[in-house]
Every structure is written in structure tokens, then in C-alpha cells.
Amino acid sequence: MLRVLNPATEEVLAELAEDGPSSIARKLERAGAAQRAWAARPLAERLAALARFRDAVAADREALARTLSLEVGKPIAQARVEVGRVGERIDFFLHGVEAVLRDEVVHQDAAFEERITQEPLGVVANISAWNYPWFVGANVFVPALLVGNAVLYKPSEHATLTGLAIARLLHASGVPEDVFVPILGAGAVGAALLEQPVAGVFFTGSYAVGRRIAEAVAPRMLRLQLELGGKDPAYVAEDVDIDAAAAAVADGAFYNNGQSCCAVERIYVHRAIAAPFVEAFTAAVRSFVVGDPLDESTYIGPLTRGAHLAFLEEQLADALGRGGRLLCGGRRLERPGFYFEPAVLDRVDHSMALMREETFGPLVGIETVEGDEEAVLRMGDTSYGLTAAVYSADGERARRVLEQLDVGSAYWNCCDRVSPRLPWSGRRHSGVGCTLSVYGIHSFLQPRAWHLRRA
Ligand code: NAD
């Protein structure tokens, strides 16, 4: 039995039956036949179904945001933003998919025509995370469905109600029940799903689980995409507007309670402005309203996972034990729910877990650097490679710093940002493969090469 908790109250919201190996096998078998029929339909029908889904999500936005807020503790204003903006991603795919699917003749001569056609993979597994279930889910299932795949979709155990709402709206919009199939449960159910002969695995989650998945499926040589964690740095040069940069980086670090794959997790500030920047940053964090996620004014709700409180406390204790200075927050709140006061440290360095391991919560360290060269060294000192940000009045200078970093996304004077038009990809421990943009449509396709000799 899967118990869905409200992290703000620790009350049980729902108890649901979990899937197991036999129910998953049955679902996969049905999905196989349904996928072939789905792929054979005219593209216009699949486009129309997903356009209806977009409209249904928009029409139901308030209730969907409330469900999301209740089960993951996301402040209602931020939940509305997530549900509201998923439409823009769907639109991107609706407009982009036809061109990607078009046959391409790449060569013709007297003897030969060479042609490329695109085919769906088949039935794919999507194992998803809870932190942005609408965004990271839609990045996968929307293009996957549009190009003709069936999707066995395992929402995170912390976002199951949202996963069921997604399934309900897709089915009501005309995606057959055997083409988009929810699989309910926690990690063991995800592992059981991987044992089935799916045509591809699309995973969003932590490096630790992603690595286990990569190892488990390696012998099968199937399409594997891993969107994993980060330890994303931001460098603040001395030529910025200090208050504006402090406010922007604080938002990048603490939005969604720091539970974003691309949250700013390490801050490096130029020595020339270190003191006023740290002061402005800490003031911004102190101003964040911590409280009930259903309250309109709340900026920081509870953590989604209660067990993560102890993890944050460990990172904090380790940093303090190695000379870090706590400037604000860092305690659990004396109330039900998984609340942790947003915490800022300075005097941190890379001997501390806080500056090396993904934190995924409202806790961040600020380190002082002497200039761009040292910033590059510190920013690059990580096994992750999702994003990096530079705040500077000088765009050329920012580009020089960012070009030296092995990351999928580079931000100048912004951070914690995702665009449907740009590829979203991690390097090294941040993952393999790509969602969004035109590349994030190809992820769900396999090209076929046609060598056509004229008789
Ligand atoms: P997680 O790795 O704990 O779980 C992710 C999913 O994997 C869940 O559905 C879970 O049930 C399932 N799972 C767990 N063990 C499994 C196993 N052995 N086999 C198969 N499935 C298994 O991650 P999470 O806590 O849900 O999400 C947070 C993580 O996701 C963070 O590291 C975050 O950075 C990352 N993330 C990355 C992106 C990105 O786009 N790169 C986006 C969102 C989140």
C-alpha cells in the first residue's frame, strides 16, 4: 500500500494500491498492441489529443495546483506557476514535432536515393521525480506520445496524486488508457518496471538511483536517458548591482525550497564585494516567508521528504565543524510538518560536503574568491555538470568564465531557468541525453536509413 503524506501536516492524504511485477507485465503487454495502433494514427490526431490535454490542464489549473501543493508542500503560488506554464512546453512540442518527423532525402544521384525516416521507440518507461512533476513529466511524456510511443509512467511516490491527475486528463483528452499507463509505487516498483522488456528508459532523479538504473539496464542496450542532480554554482563578479544580484541568486537558491535540479547550490563572490553581498543575500533570505504552503504569501513551505531534514542537519553540522559560519536559519520549526528554516553560511570551502554534494534543500554556502580565475577553478571542482551562472555587467567576461565549465546550461545574469526552446541536458553525473528543444523530440525517436537503389 502506498501512503501519500501531506508534508505540511504529516497527515495521510491517500492510500493507494501499488503495482507489482505481474500488474506491470500485464500493462506492458496491453501497451505493446496499443502503441502500434497509436503510432499508426495520423499525426494530426495525436496533436489534437495533446492540444486538448493542454487546454484541460489550463482549465483545471487551480485544483491541480492545490493537489501539487498538498502532496509535495510546494507553495501554492509556485504550484500555480508550474501548472500554468506547462502549456508553453506542450505548445513548443505541438509546433515542433511535425518538422522533426518529416522524411528527409539527403542524397540523390542516378543510382541511389538516400532517405531518413523517423520511428518511435515503442513502449518506453518514464520514472519521474517529485520536485517538478508537471515540468519534468511533460518534458518526457508529451514528445514521447506525440511521436507515437506508449509510456509506462511511474510518478514519484511523493507526487502520485499529480501523476494520477496527469493520467486522468490525458485519457479524457483522447490518449488511450493503454498508451499512457500510470505505474504506482516507490523505488522497488521502479526497479520492477525496469525488468520488463521496454524499448527505452527515461529517468529523472538522483545520481545515485540513475547510476543504479544505468547498471541494471546496461546489458540490454536500450535507449537510456538520465536527467540527474546538480551542484550548480553561481559566481558574482564585483561589477554587479549588489542588491539585485543578491536577490536574484537568493531566489535561484531557495525557490521551491531549494529542491530544484538547477537550484544554485554554491555561491562564489568576488572579494571586493563579499561583505555587502553576503549582507544583502542574508537579508533577502531572512525576508522569505516560511509557512503553510496553501497560504498565498508563503515562499518556503515544508520539505517534501521528512527524512531529508536529518540530511540537511548533517551537511550543516559538517560545515560548521570545518569552520563555516551560519548567518541565518538552519533549524527545524517547532510545528508539525517537515519545515527547515532557510540557512546561509559563509566562510565555507570545498572540504565541506555542503560545497560538494547535492543539498537539495534550503541551505547554501557562500565562498569568497579573488577573481575570475579562482572562480573557474572552484566552479569546475564538481562531478556534476548541469548548469552554471555568472553575474557580471560584462557579457564577454561572463562568457569567458562559462566556456571553461563543463555544463549543459550556461546562465549570464540569470539562474535556475529552463526554456522549452533550449536543450536541457546534464553532463557527467548530471546525466545522459536531453529533453526539450528539437533534440528533446529526437530523444524519443530512432532514425531509419534507407539506401534505395534505382532498378
Ligand atoms: P530519486 O532518485 O530518489 O527518485 C526518482 C524516481 O526513481 C522516483 O520515481 C523513485 O521512486 C524511483 N526509484 C528509486 N529507486 C529506484 C530503483 N532502484 N529503480 C528504479 N526506480 C527507482 O529522486 P527524487 O528524490 O524523486 O528527485 C530528486 C532528484 O532528481 C534530485 O537529485 C534532482 O536534482 C533530480 N532532478 C533532476 C532533474 C533534471 O532535469 N536534471 C529534474 C528534476 C529533478
Write out the chain in H/E/C secondary structure: CEEEECCCCCCEEEEECCCCHHHHHHHHHHHHHHHHHHHHCCHHHHHHHHHHHHHHHHHCHHHHHHHHHHHHCCCHHHHHHHHHHHHHHHHHHHHHHHHHHCCEEEEECCCEEEEEEEEECCEEEEECCCCCHHHHHHHHHHHHHHCCCEEEEECCCCCHHHHHHHHHHHHHCCCCCCCEEECCCCHHHHHHHHCCCCCEEEEECCHHHHHHHHHHHHHHCCEEEEECCCCEEEEECCCCCHHHHHHHHHHHHHHHHHCCCCCEEEEEEEHHHHHHHHHHHHHHHHCCCECCCCCCCCCECCCCCCCHHHHHHHHHHHHHHCCCEEEECCCECCCCCCCECCEEEECCCCCCHHHCCCCCCCEEEEEEECCHHHHHHHHHCCCEECEEEEECCCHHHHHHHHHCCCCCEEEECCCCCCCCCCCECCEECCEECCECCCHHHHCCEEEEEEEEECC
Phi/psi-derived region of residue 366, left when phi > 0, alpha when psi is between -120 and 50, beta in every other case = beta
| Closest ligand 1 atom, residue 194 Cα | 20
Q: Which long-range contacts (CB under 8 A, 24 or more apart) does 330-333 make?
A: 330/363, 333/290
* Alpha-carbon distance values, 212 to 7, 190, 365 (Å): 27, 11, 29
Match 531549494 to its residue by C-alpha cell. 258
- pLDDT above 90 for 66: yes
Q: What's the pLDDT at 299?
A: 98
Q: For ligand 1, pick from 2, 18, 156, 383 the residue to mutate: most ligand atoms within 8 Å of CB.
A: 156
Q: What's the pLDDT at 235?
A: 99
Q: For ligand 1, pick from 71, 261, 407 the residue to mutate: most ligand atoms within 8 Å of CB.
A: 261
Q: How far is the CA of 308 from the centre of ligand 1 (A)?
A: 14
**Confidence at 77, pLDDT banded by 50, 70, 90:** very high
Pairing state of beta strands 363-369 and 343-346?
parallel
**Are the C-beta atoms of residues 7 and 337 closer than 8 Å to each other?**
yes
Backbone φ and ψ for 348, nearest 5 degrees, come out as -100, 160
Q: Position 41: which residue type?
A: R
What mean pLDDT is reported for the chain?
98
C-alpha 354, offset from chain centre: 21
Q: How far is the CA of 449 from the centre of ligand 1 (A)?
A: 35
Q: How far is the CA of 432 from the centre of ligand 1 (A)?
A: 14
Residue 366 and residue 324: Cα distance in Å, rounded? 10
Q: What is the pLDDT of residues 249-270, one digit of tens each?
A: 999 999 999 999 999 999 999 9
Q: How far is the CA of 184 from the centre of ligand 1 (A)?
A: 14
Q: How far is the CA of 348 from the centre of ligand 1 (A)?
A: 28
| Closest ligand 1 atom, residue 208 Cα | 2
**Confidence at 74, pLDDT banded by 50, 70, 90:** very high
Q: How far is the CA of 228 from the centre of ligand 1 (A)?
A: 7
Q: What is the pLDDT of residues 28-53, one digit of tens each?
A: 999 999 999 999 999 999 999 999 99
Q: What percent of the chain has pLDDT over 90?
A: 100
Q: How far is the CA of 128 from the centre of ligand 1 (A)?
A: 6
Q: What is the pLDDT of residues 425-455, one digit of tens each?
A: 999 999 999 999 999 999 999 999 999 999 7
Residue having the nearest C-alpha atom to atom 39 of ligand 1: 227
Q: How far is the CA of 133 from the centre of ligand 1 (A)?
A: 11
| Closest ligand 1 atom, residue 435 Cα | 40
Q: Please name which of 162, 141, 161 lies closest in space to residue 151, comparing C-alpha atoms.
A: 141
**Are the C-beta atoms of residues 103 and 114 closer than 8 Å to each other?**
no
Q: Please name which of 282, 262, 266 lies closest in space to residue 416, comparing C-alpha atoms.
A: 262
Q: What's the pLDDT at 455?
A: 79
> Mean pLDDT throughout 2-20?
97
pTM of the predicted model as reported, rounded to 2 decimal places: 0.97
Q: What is the pLDDT of residues 294-352, one digit of tens each?
A: 999 999 999 999 999 999 999 999 999 999 999 999 999 999 999 999 999 999 999 99
Residue having the nearest C-alpha atom to atom 19 of ligand 1: 191
For 285, half-sphere exposure in the C-beta direction (CA atoms, 13 angstrom radius) is 30
Q: For ligand 1, pick from 2, 130, 131 the residue to mutate: most ligand atoms within 8 Å of CB.
A: 131
Pairing state of beta strands 150-154 and 123-127?
parallel
| Closest ligand 1 atom, residue 304 Cα | 25
| Closest ligand 1 atom, residue 155 Cα | 9
> What lines the ligand 1 site, CB under 6 Å?
127-132, 136, 154, 156-157, 186-187, 190-191, 194, 204-206, 209, 212-213, 227-230, 261, 358, 360, 386, 424, 426, 431
Q: How far is the CA of 126 from the centre of ligand 1 (A)?
A: 11
Q: What's the pLDDT at 324?
A: 98
Count other C-beta atoms under 10 Å from residue 37's C-beta. 13
**Confidence at 26, pLDDT banded by 50, 70, 90:** very high
Match 537503389 to its residue by C-alpha cell. 453
**Confidence at 146, pLDDT banded by 50, 70, 90:** very high
**Are the C-beta atoms of residues 82 and 132 closer than 8 Å to each other?**
yes
**Confidence at 242, pLDDT banded by 50, 70, 90:** very high
Q: How far is the CA of 157 from the centre of ligand 1 (A)?
A: 10
